[in-house]
A and B are shown apart, each in its own frame.
Chain A
Amino acid sequence: MRVATAMQDLHYVLHAPQGDTYADLLFTMIERRGKRPPVTYTTFQARDLGKDTASIFQNAARDAYERFAPKALLVGASCTAELIQDDPAGLAEALELPCPVIPLELPSYQRKENWGAAETFYRVVRQLVDRDVRPSPREGRRPLVNLLGPCALGFRHRDDVLEVRKLLWNLGIDVNCVAPLDAAPDDIRTLGRADFNIVMYPEVGGEAARWLDQALHQPAIRTVPIGVGATRDFIAEVAALAGVDATEALADPQSRMPWWSRSVDSTYLTGKRVFIFGDATHAIAAARIAHEELGFEICGLGCYNREFAREMRAAAAHYGVEPLITDDHLEVEDAILNASPELVLGTQMERHIAKRFGIPCAVISSPVHVQDFPARHSPQMGFEGANVIFDTWVHPLVMGLEEHLLTMFRDDFEFSDEAGPSHLHGAAPVARQQAEPAMPSTRGELAELPTATTIAWTAEAEQELKKVPFFVRGKVRRNTEAFALSQGRGAVDLATLYDAKAHYAR
């Protein structure tokens, strides 16, 4: 659907029960599209089962063709329709519609959304591309590329396309076609005209690019320009492949992020522990930015799409952390708790987890909510993307000075760390008590979580623990208790607390 909705003059007939149309509202609400997605659902019901679901499908396909006159028709089955074993491909073929019909096999009991989008785009490309369309001779013209991968409901895809176009323009390269976003079947037909492809999002465009390389010998650039370093690499690779000069593009005066990050104001960012989770492409890119460009320490890295597990494992090894490859958000929650990060970079889910534990968080990847389809220009890619990322990630952190003040005046009644950082007022205890009375009410929530073994703390030690900054308090508590257990001490007193500190300081 994300591919069909992204494209023009294409219609998707989906064999699906009543209710599956809920997917429409992801596009009309989250992305705020002003048009219905080009999808017709057969919406069969119980009384239709066993007799005429096949003819329902054929009628729907015929009506959709007549009403929307698409240049190509996608047909497929939802998870339920997969079970009733009508054959959308055969049924659609039998209609002999005067446009290409692209059947989709999306095994919904094995695969997930990103895979579905990649597979759909690959099918569309494979069926529609005209293999006889080839690049014209290079003399006297600028290089020509395709941008593959941007689609509907993509995290910042709209603005990334603009940013990459700008980069390419600075390099003297023209864009033949962006696909699937806003491409029509006729555009897909002429993909072969480009000299090479740029895979903006491997999750969606990777398969199609691989096939184009095989079938048309169109090479592909797979470096994703998220972050200053990655953008520079990207520019260098593209320039090399296109045979153009990269100097000017590399020296973009709009790239403010490197200076921002070097300015003394940012020194307090050094070594901040960050936990990163999202789709593999964004998570791996974020790890590089965090490590090389902001000086954070990566304490956790993972993704939810197992198709990219290999890349993720390699990246995690590079940063010396255990890769987390899971689509179970409870597992992510556990991992975040164990890592005790000071900043979480993740999806909408991690945003909620972080909120619950009072940890600052920024969103780097879908799934995202409506606020991450902003009205303003906010790319992730290119130098402007790096500017956006710097602001977005630093914003939720306690500002350096504020952090010091919180530690110095922690016992001051109106300045205590219980009040939380000023810009996280949503998580401040007073508001929270009103909104969610069932939740623990202090900010040091990491410390409040029940531990498996409850070891008594002396009042003195408890008091001392409160002097530890709240964002590491939970970790200190757990470490100390683990240490006390391993030493066979029944309770934690001041001495144990500092023995443990010494122990872990090694």
Chain B
Amino acid sequence: MSGESVLGCAPAAQPQVLRERGQREVFCGLTGIIWMHRKMQDAFFLVVGSRTCAHLLQSAAGVMIFAEPRFATAIIEERDLAGMADCQDELDRMVDKLLTRRPEIRTLFLVGSCPSEVIKLDLGKTAQRLDAKFAGSTRILNYSGSGIETTFTEGEDACLTALVPEMPSADADEAANLLVVGALPDIVEDQFKRLFDELGIGPVHFLPAKRMAELPKVGPNTVFLLAQPFLTETTGALQRRGAKRLDALFPFGAEGTTDWLRAAAEAFGIDRMHFNRVVAPGRERAKRAIAHRRERLEGKRITFLPDSQLELPLARFLHTELGMMPVEVGTPYLNRELNARELALLPASTRLSEGQDVDLQLDRVRLDRPDLTVCGLGLANPLEAEGLSTKWAIELVFSPIHGFEQAGDLAELFARPLRRRDILRV
């Protein structure tokens, strides 16, 4: 926690990062739609892509696709490939039909995919044109969730980046406001809201908001906390609108959450004693909940394969609060600035890797034989069949894991596979 103040020395040596490229076993950014559409309740996500894209969403969303979802795929067919003009007309028609059928939609995202990017279908233009047409009733925005540009959670980054220009401006003379950036489960959002209230920090807003009309203001007096580590582009867009990012650990575990809240408290000049008093109960609860799992996890070696960019902060949490030893921490993309504090807390022996050549990486996993490997569902069962314990990574994106009250659950997610391994006698 005092990494930066070591007697004026150069910052602690950071481990070398292994950069690889080869086959990447990751989701594309379209997957973000699955949680984004639950969060933004008056938004619809229309992917412009191929059957592969539709199939991906169907597989990834599992059962959810049957609950009259607010996403769909406009499938590019062969005749669309012949002439561009057609494509635009067809999209117009489709959007017309969609908005007639679902008049409650306030934001429509046209989401670009690999095929639409490769044929250079200008969805930006389409969005502008349609936006003018539906002005007053539905905003029509655009971002890309294509696999050639985005990896998994970067889809959320791209989506939020598209929302930033839509946020109303706050004047320079307005009071400071706090923005929490990154989609969080409602229950977590409410917990944070209560904590900020008790601390006396406010007004606090969340991006994304539940409804388009509730999009928060942003301006030079806005400070923001990232709830998620994968929001590089959104951070840039907010900074360009004058907002300032508060540097903090990400709110995982007792320490991470405390540090994250402290950054906001300091920005709002909250008294240290008051801060400690407000934070103490939650922090203690978190520590107690984590302690239950410590026995199972302490000293265990863990490898993360790249997936969501959550790998770094989670490895930090598991190391500092549960005593696990990260062997390799892979991330699809490493933003050193956003993760500076996280990096400083990882043990120097950690092998960091950015990008992936999955076969080489699996060779390393087999050589390292970590006690637990965090990986995607395409790799989990095959690794289990080789006798390696795994924790499938997607759950970390879909489950509530942020904040004090979820710290125990978060630890449990990693403890469970190991416990199960001990229980089973078949």
A107 to chain B, nearest CB (A): 7
Instruction: Select the residue from B31, B117, B382 with max chain A CB neighbours within 10 A.
Output: B382
Is the CB of A373 closer than 8 A to any CB of chain B? no
Partner of A22, one of B60, B63, B67, B115: B60
Identify the stretch in A13-21, A212-220, A334-342, A467-475 within 8 Å (CB) of chain B at 4 or more residues. A13-21
State in angstroms the CA–CA spacing of A33 and B384 once bound together: 10
Interface residues of A in 111-128 (CB under 8 A from B): 112
B23 to chain A, nearest CB (A): 5
Instruction: Select the residue from A18, A67, A79 with max chain B CB neighbours within 10 A.
Output: A18
Is the CB of A247 closer than 8 A to any CB of chain B? no
Interface residues of B in 136-189 (CB under 8 A from A): 146-149, 151
State in angstroms the CA–CA spacing of A503 and B144 once bound together: 57
B150 to chain A, nearest CB (A): 8
Partner of A17, one of B22, B55, B114: B114
State in angstroms the CA–CA spacing of A93 and B411 once bound together: 51
Residues B30 and A19 in contact, CB atoms below 8 Å apart = yes
Residues A26 and B59 in contact, CB atoms below 8 Å apart = yes
A80 to chain B, nearest CB (A): 4
Residues A67 and B149 in contact, CB atoms below 8 Å apart = no
Q: Which chain B residues border A22 with CB–CB below 8 Å?
A: 27-28, 31, 56, 59-60, 378
Partner of B77, one of A28, A60, A80, A109: A109
Partner of B148, one of A34, A45, A107: A45
State in angstroms the CA–CA spacing of A84 and B118 once bound together: 7
Instruction: Type the 1/0 row for A19-45, where 1 means its CB is closer than 8 Å to any CB of B.
Output: 111111111110011111000111111
Q: Which chain A residues border B26 with CB–CB below 8 Å?
A: 18-19, 21
Is the CB of B267 closer than 8 A to any CB of chain A? no
B89 to chain A, nearest CB (A): 18
Partner of A45, one of B30, B81, B119, B149: B149
Partner of A33, one of B56, B78, B382: B382
Is the CB of B99 closer than 8 A to any CB of chain A? no
A505 to chain B, nearest CB (A): 36
Q: Which chain B residues border A21 with CB–CB below 8 Å?
A: 23-26, 378
Q: Which chain A residues border B66 with CB–CB below 8 Å?
A: 349, 352-353, 356
Q: Which chain A residues border B379 with CB–CB below 8 Å?
A: 24, 28, 36
Is the CB of B359 closer than 8 A to any CB of chain A? yes
Query: Given contacts A18-B26, A25-B376, A109-B77, are A34 and B114 in contact (CB under 8 A)?
Result: no
Residues B51 and A83 in contact, CB atoms below 8 Å apart = no
Is the CB of A263 closer than 8 A to any CB of chain B? no
Instruction: Select the residue from B51, B148, B359 with max chain A CB neighbours within 10 A.
Output: B148
**Closest B residue by C-beta to A68:** B359
A109 to chain B, nearest CB (A): 4
State in angstroms the CA–CA spacing of A110 and B56 once bound together: 18
Partner of B114, one of A19, A32, A36: A19
Is the CB of B52 closer than 8 A to any CB of chain A? yes
Q: Which chain B residues border A44 with CB–CB below 8 Å?
A: 148
Is the CB of B381 closer than 8 A to any CB of chain A? yes
Is the CB of A46 closer than 8 A to any CB of chain B? yes
Q: Which chain B residues border A353 with CB–CB below 8 Å?
A: 66
Q: Which chain A residues border B81 with CB–CB below 8 Å?
A: 83, 109
Residues A46 and B149 in contact, CB atoms below 8 Å apart = yes
Instruction: Select the residue from B376, B381, B385 with max chain A CB neighbours within 10 A.
Output: B381
Query: Given contacts A18-B28, A19-B30, A80-B115, are A112 and B51 in contact (CB under 8 A)?
Result: yes
State in angstroms the CA–CA spacing of A352 and B59 once bound together: 15
Residues B381 and A28 in contact, CB atoms below 8 Å apart = yes
Residues A18 and B151 in contact, CB atoms below 8 Å apart = yes
State in angstroms the CA–CA spacing of A84 and B80 once bound together: 16
Residues B385 and A34 in contact, CB atoms below 8 Å apart = yes
Partner of B25, one of A24, A63, A352: A24
Q: Which chain A residues border B60 with CB–CB below 8 Å?
A: 22
State in angstroms the CA–CA spacing of A109 and B81 once bound together: 9
State in angstroms the CA–CA spacing of A263 and B19 once bound together: 69
Is the CB of A452 closer than 8 A to any CB of chain B? no
Residues B147 and A79 in contact, CB atoms below 8 Å apart = no
Q: Which chain A residues border B378 with CB–CB below 8 Å?
A: 21-22, 24-25, 27-28, 36
Interface SS majority for chain B:
helix
Q: Which chain B residues border A349 with CB–CB below 8 Å?
A: 66
State in angstroms the CA–CA spacing of A42 and B357 once bound together: 10
Residues B381 and A80 in contact, CB atoms below 8 Å apart = no
A188 to chain B, nearest CB (A): 25
Q: Which chain B residues border A67 with CB–CB below 8 Å?
A: 359
Q: Which chain A residues border B76 with CB–CB below 8 Å?
A: 109
Partner of B50, one of A34, A42, A80: A80
Partner of B23, one of A33, A41, A352, A356: A41
Residues A29 and B23 in contact, CB atoms below 8 Å apart = no
Residues A46 and B23 in contact, CB atoms below 8 Å apart = no
Is the CB of B397 closer than 8 A to any CB of chain A? no
Q: Which chain A residues border B415 with CB–CB below 8 Å?
A: none
State in angstroms the CA–CA spacing of A40 and B60 once bound together: 21
Q: Which chain A residues border B380 with CB–CB below 8 Å?
A: 28
Residues B52 and A28 in contact, CB atoms below 8 Å apart = no
Is the CB of B246 closer than 8 A to any CB of chain A? no
Is the CB of A460 closer than 8 A to any CB of chain B? no
Is the CB of B377 closer than 8 A to any CB of chain A? yes
B232 to chain A, nearest CB (A): 15
Query: Given contacts A28-B379, A35-B385, are A80 and B114 in contact (CB under 8 A)?
Result: yes
State in angstroms the CA–CA spacing of A25 and B394 once bound together: 12
A378 to chain B, nearest CB (A): 21
B260 to chain A, nearest CB (A): 30
Residues A107 and B381 in contact, CB atoms below 8 Å apart = no
Is the CB of A255 closer than 8 A to any CB of chain B? no
Is the CB of A96 closer than 8 A to any CB of chain B? no
Residues B63 and A110 in contact, CB atoms below 8 Å apart = no
B400 to chain A, nearest CB (A): 18
Query: Given contacts A22-B60, A24-B25, A28-B378, are A17 and B147 in contact (CB under 8 A)?
Result: yes
A352 to chain B, nearest CB (A): 4
Instruction: Type the 1/0 row for B345-357, where 1 means its CB is closer than 8 Å to any CB of A.
Output: 0000000000000
Is the CB of A139 closer than 8 A to any CB of chain B? no
State in angstroms the CA–CA spacing of A188 and B50 once bound together: 33
Instruction: Select the residue from A43, A63, A369, A436 with max chain B CB neighbours within 10 A.
Output: A43
Instruction: Type the 1/0 row for B111-131, where 1 means its CB is closer than 8 Å to any CB of A.
Output: 000110111000000000000
B53 to chain A, nearest CB (A): 8
Is the CB of A407 closer than 8 A to any CB of chain B? no
Is the CB of A392 closer than 8 A to any CB of chain B? no
State in angstroms the CA–CA spacing of A28 and B149 once bound together: 26
Q: Which chain B residues border A108 with CB–CB below 8 Å?
A: 50-52
Is the CB of A441 closer than 8 A to any CB of chain B? no
Residues B381 and A436 in contact, CB atoms below 8 Å apart = no
Instruction: Type the 1/0 row for A430-453, where 1 means its CB is closer than 8 Å to any CB of B.
Output: 000000100000000000000000
State in angstroms the CA–CA spacing of A349 and B63 once bound together: 9
A471 to chain B, nearest CB (A): 21
State in angstroms the CA–CA spacing of A182 and B321 once bound together: 47
B388 to chain A, nearest CB (A): 12
8 additional contacts (CB under 8 A) given A40-B23, A110-B78? A18-B151, A22-B60, A28-B377, A28-B379, A34-B385, A40-B359, A108-B51, A369-B63
18 A-B interface contacts by CB (under 8 A): A22-B31, A22-B56, A23-B59, A26-B59, A28-B381, A33-B381, A34-B385, A40-B23, A40-B359, A45-B148, A46-B146, A79-B115, A80-B147, A107-B78, A109-B78, A110-B77, A349-B66, A369-B63
Q: Top 3 nearest A-B pairs by Cβ distance?
A: A19-B28, A19-B147, A34-B385
